[in-house]
Homo-oligomer: A and B are copies of this chain.
């Protein structure tokens, strides 16, 4: 098989640019990021980026898009249906913690300010999140019905869980909080479930 001197590098130039974009955008933010640095990071010429993306904005959006997809995929559990809400929330925390630790650059993008998103991406982003939240609320509702949990507003539970996910990102990614993912996930799940009530 004749791949030539390019070796393994060839794995799709488009993806190489996206990978470089994750690094550079996460280092500097959208406005401070330079197309030149992205090109250099990808090991290609400046002009080449424009063969694959029409503009800096498009590149950013596609990169953000892809990054979120990767993140959301990491949260998926195979045999969801068979798990209790408690187990699902536990795996949500666990996956999130692990993902944050393993993809610091990428998460920086995912949980970022989205000022520069255009309407189309905003819609996609909004839809994706709303869809996730809707599914989550549905699961909360079912858990209430089957008496796994007490009668609470699913909206608030969703808010609580997503708030905790965001709040976890900073200490893990920025401060390098070094805890055992499984232990932390367990404790958080317990907090959510048992609340603060004295025994």
Contacts and interface: CB of A to CB of B under 8 A. Distances in A.
- Number of chain copies forming the complex: 4
Interface majority SS on A: helix, strand, loop or mixed?
A: helix
B113 A188 contact: no
A50 B30 CA distance: 24
Given A150-B198, A159-B168, 8 more contacts: A29-B113, A30-B31, A152-B191, A160-B160, A160-B163, A192-B196, A193-B195, A193-B197
Interface residues of A, number: 40
A156 interface: yes
A162 B167 contact: yes
A131 interface: no
B168 A167 contact: no
